[in-house]
Amino acid sequence: MMTGRAVQMPLFETPLRALADVHTSKRGEHERTGVYAWHPYYAGYAEQFVADVLSILAKPGDLILDPWNGSGTTTLVAQRKGIRSIGVEINPVMTSHAHAKNLRFPSLADDLLTEAQHLTTIARHLANERPARLGDIADWVHHEPLRGLLALRDAIQKEIADRPEPGFVSPIICREAKNALYPPAKRAFFFSALFQVLRKVGKFSRGSNPTWLVLDEQDTTTPMDAVFTLFLGTVKSMLADLELAAWDTEEIADYWVMTGDSRALHLTNESVNLIVTSPPYCTRIDYAFSTKPELLLLGNEESGVDALRRATMGAPVVADKGIVPQEVWGQTCNDFLDAVAQHPSKASKSYYLPTYLQYFRDAELSLREIKRVLKDSGQAVIVVQSSYYKDIELPLGDIYIQMSNRLGFDAEIARRETVRQHMAHVNTRSRRYVKDKVYCEDVVLLCR
C-alpha cells in the first residue's frame, strides 16, 4: 500500500507515472569494477537509474544536487550527460573518491602521470629528510610502508594547490562555506590513489560486515619503495579506468563535489532545480568507521574520526539523548518509535531508541534543507529501503512520504520493488524474530 496524499497537479503526476518505469536502482556486477573499485563502499545505486531520472526530470541549464553524495554516482552521471551538478558529502574520504571520478579522460592523462612521477620523487626526499609524525594511523599500517604513505600525503599537500577551482558555484555557495573542504580535482585524484594504496599495504581487512574493519596481526610488511611503485601503478590503472568511461556529450558541464552536511547545506536559497539522492537507510551502518584508516592518514586523530561518526546520519553512535519524537515525523514513524521503546529486548529503550530518534531528527533537518535550496516547483528523487528492528517493520519510504507532506512537499512513492540483498542479512540472528522478512526499496518523489 503506497502512502501519501493523492496529488492532482499535472506537474507532479506526469513524472510520477514516468518514474514508475525507471531502471532499478540496484547496482549490477559491472558497477563493481573500474572506477567503482577505487573504494570499498557498500551503499550506492545504479548509474542507469540516475540516467533515467535525469532524462525524465532534468532540463537544459538545470542544476542537480546530491546532498548525500557518497561515492558520487549522481555527479558522475550528470557530468557525463553535460548537466551541471553539486555533490555534498560529510566524509572527506568519499569526497576525494567522488571528485576524482569526474575527471575527463584523456585531456589530463599525460599531465596526471607526469605529476604522479614528480610526487613520488618529492616523497622519496621527504621520507629520507625527516621522520614523519606517525599519529594514530600507526595502529593500522606497519612502520615501513607508513613512511612512504605519509611522505606521499605530504607531497600531495605540498605540491598540489588546495585552492578551489573557478566555476559556477561561487554565487550558489553560501559565505558560511568558506572553511569547508573543496578538494580540487587533481588533489582528489591523487588522494584517491593514495587511499587505494593504503588498502593494499595496511594491516587490516573487512569483516563479515562490509562496512567494518578488523585489524590483522600479520608480520608481513611492504618496503617503502614498493609503496611508491604501487602509487604509480594505481595512478596508471585509474587513468585506464577513466579512459573506458562513456561520455554522452563533448560538452564539459560545471560540477563540484564538496564536503558538507545534509542538515546544513552551504547553498543559497532556491538555487537547485533537481535533487537525486539516497540517504542512509536507518540500518545503523557506520560509514565513517569504514574509512577510518583513510581519515587517520589525512591527519585526523581518533577524536576526529569519532566526531565524524557522531555527525554522520544513521551512525550506530548515540550522540544526543535529548531528542524526543516530533509530530512532523508522522504517525507511522511515531508508532514505530513507540514500539521500539516498549520492546522487551535488552537495550531497546536505552540504546536503539536514541539511535532511531537521531536518525529521524536528522532526516527532518535534511528535508527542510532540501526544501530550502530547491527552486519553486523543483523536485527531489530519494531512494530509501525498509528494514526491521527485531520483529518491528520500519517502512522508511512511507515515513519519508508522511514527513515530507507535513513539511509542505507534494510527496508520493513513484516505484517500489522487493530487495533480496539487504544489510540486515549480515546479522543472521535477526532472522529468529521474523522469518522470510520482505524488504522494499522505494523511489520517493517530492515536489516543492
DSSP labels for 72-100? Answer: -HHHHHHHHTT-EEEEEES-HHHHHHHHH
Give mean pLDDT, residues 34-47. 77
Beta strands in 10-113 (DSSP E): 63-66, 84-89
Give the pLDDT confidence score for residue 55 in this predicted structure. Answer: 92
Write out pLDDT tens, residues 83-123.
999 999 999 999 999 988 877 655 677 788 999 999 999 99
Of 164-178, 255-269, 347-361, the range with the lowest mean pLDDT is 164-178
Write out pLDDT tens, residues 303-345.
999 999 999 998 899 999 999 999 999 999 999 999 999 999 9
Maximum average pLDDT range among 218-222, 260-264, 285-289 = 260-264
Q: How many helical (H) and strand (E) elements, i.e. helices and strands, does the chain have?
A: 13, 11
Give the pLDDT confidence score for residue 445 in this predicted structure. Answer: 95
- Rounded to whole angstroms, what are the CA distances from 399 to 31, 317, 337? 30, 22, 12
Q: In the chain, what are the domain boundaries?
A: 10-318
Backbone angles phi, psi at 87, to 5 degrees: -115, 130
Q: Which amino acid is at 43?
A: A
Q: Is residue 361 pLDDT above 90, yes or no?
A: yes
Q: Within a 13 Å sphere around the CA of 447, how many CA atoms are in the beta-carbon half?
A: 20
Q: Is residue 378 pLDDT above 60, yes or no?
A: yes
Q: Is residue 385 pLDDT above 70, yes or no?
A: yes
Residue of 73, 9, 2 whose CA lies nearest to 448 = 9
Return the H-helix or E-strand segment holding 265: none
Q: pLDDT confidence of 10, banded at 50, 70, 90?
A: very low
Q: Which amino acid is at 427?
A: N
Q: Is residue 223 pLDDT above 50, yes or no?
A: yes
Give the pLDDT confidence score for residue 306 in this predicted structure. Answer: 93
CB 388 within 8 A of CB 394: yes
Give the pLDDT confidence score for residue 8 in this predicted structure. Answer: 40
Distance CA 214, CA 212 (A): 7
Q: Is residue 348 pLDDT above 90, yes or no?
A: yes
The CB density around residue 427, as the number of other CB atoms within 10 Å, is 11
Q: pLDDT confidence of 185, banded at 50, 70, 90?
A: confident
Give the pLDDT confidence score for residue 5 in this predicted structure. Answer: 40
CB 75 within 8 A of CB 102: yes
Q: pLDDT confidence of 170, banded at 50, 70, 90?
A: low
Distance CA 256, CA 170 (A): 11
Write out pLDDT tens, residues 232-252.
999 999 998 888 776 666 666
Q: Which amino acid is at 27?
A: R
Distance CA 36, CA 52 (A): 19
CB 86 within 8 A of CB 67: no
Percent of the chain residues past pLDDT 70, beyond the cut: 81
Bond preceding residue 106 cis, omega within 30 of 0: yes
DSSP for 224-260, please give it. Answer: HHHHHHHHHHHHHHHHHHHHT---S-S----EEEEE-
Q: pLDDT confidence of 173, banded at 50, 70, 90?
A: confident
Give mean pLDDT, residues 286-299. 92
Write out pLDDT tens, residues 391-402.
999 999 999 999
Write out pLDDT tens, residues 49-89.
999 999 999 998 999 999 999 989 999 899 888 899 999 99
Residue of 292, 294, 92 whose CA lies nearest to 193 = 294
Distance CA 25, CA 44 (A): 8
Q: pLDDT confidence of 7, banded at 50, 70, 90?
A: very low
Provide the mean pLDDT of the chain.
85
Q: Is residue 132 pLDDT above 90, yes or no?
A: no
